[in-house]
Amino acid sequence: MIDEIRGAYSFLTILPVGSRTSRDAGKSFAWFPLVGLFIGACLLAVAAISPFDRELTAALILICWVVLSGGLHLDGFADSCDGLLGHGEAQKRLAIMRDPGLGTWGAAGLVLLLLTKWLAIGAIDPALLILPPLFGRWAMVLAAYHFPYAREKGIGAVFREGLGPRQLLISSVIVGIVVFHYSAFFLWLLALLVALAVGRWASTRLGGGLTGDVYGAICELSELACLLGMGVIHA
């Protein structure tokens, strides 16, 4: 179990706690929400110690959020925008998403995503910042479990080896405990809907499956949906 947890933290954060890949790496999916809780706790700490006004504090929180994850999910989101929103057949889309370059859709998507996140962070109660990273990483588990992989090889394919009902159950129990404490069932439902809706749409564009880039996009969009949902609830 310790190795699985280390694998989750190593893959999803910049923390030097272990190898990113190993046999049956998919077992680490069970602990993705724990990584989300850690990131959320760091965001809470930034909010608590920031000497700046609300807008600058929101910017610092967003910077911390991006740095802790190493930009991993943002990279996947940008690649997904380039591939999924462009024209062409499934194989062309997959080739575009593998290209390390940043296209117009990817650049525009990143700007809009980060801008909206910054504004949303500044509009909510900082005490709730622990929730979006939690739901975002659980949404990746759900998407990886529910949809097949679109490629035969890739880092996403490696990390799906060993992923099964047990990992989805453990991750859901972790989220359920937090959701019960915060009475955040509506936000959990939002994350579920985003994971399934985006996953289904993306799979039709990619020939029936998802990639690691789409997992990252689902994480980012689930976090954004959670932030926006909290903004509506506490408006």
- Please say if the pLDDT value at position 152 is more than 90: no
pLDDT of residue 27: 86
| Cα within 13 Å of Cα(104), Cβ side | 3
What is the tally of helices (H) and strands (E) in the chain?
Answer: 11, 0
| Cα within 13 Å of Cα(168), Cβ side | 14
Tell me the pLDDT band of 150, cut-offs 50, 70 and 90. Answer: confident
- Please say if the pLDDT value at position 22 is more than 60: no
180 torsion bin: left (phi>0), alpha (psi -120 to 50), beta (else) = alpha
Q: What is the mean pLDDT of residues 204-224?
A: 94
Tell me the pLDDT band of 232, cut-offs 50, 70 and 90. Answer: confident
DSSP bridge partners of 210: 149
Query: 90 vs 19, which has greater pLDDT?
Result: 90
Report DSSP state, residue 128: G
Give the N- to C-terminal CA distance of the chain in Å, as an integer. 41
> What is the C-alpha R_g of the chain?
17
Question: Which residues touch 197 (CB under 8 Å, ≥6 apart)?
Answer: none
**Quick one: which of 119, 134, 116, 13 has its CA closest to 73?**
13
Over residues 78-96, the pLDDT tens digits come to 999 999 998 888 899 998 9
Q: What is the mean pLDDT of residues 181-193?
A: 94
pLDDT of residue 157: 63
- Please check whether residue 125 is in contact with residue 187, taking contact to mean a CB–CB distance below 8 angstroms: no
- Please say if the pLDDT value at position 21 is more than 60: no
Q: What is the mean pLDDT of residues 5-30?
A: 80
Report DSSP state, residue 17: S
- Please say if the pLDDT value at position 74 is more than 90: yes
Calpha distance 189→131 (Å, rounded):
13
CA dihedral sign, ordered 83, 88, 90, 94: negative
Over residues 107-131, the pLDDT tens digits come to 999 999 999 999 999 999 999 999 9
Tell me the pLDDT band of 14, cut-offs 50, 70 and 90. Answer: very high
**Burial of residue 222, with CB atoms counted within 10 A of its CB: 0-12 exposed, 13-18 middle, 19 or more buried:** buried
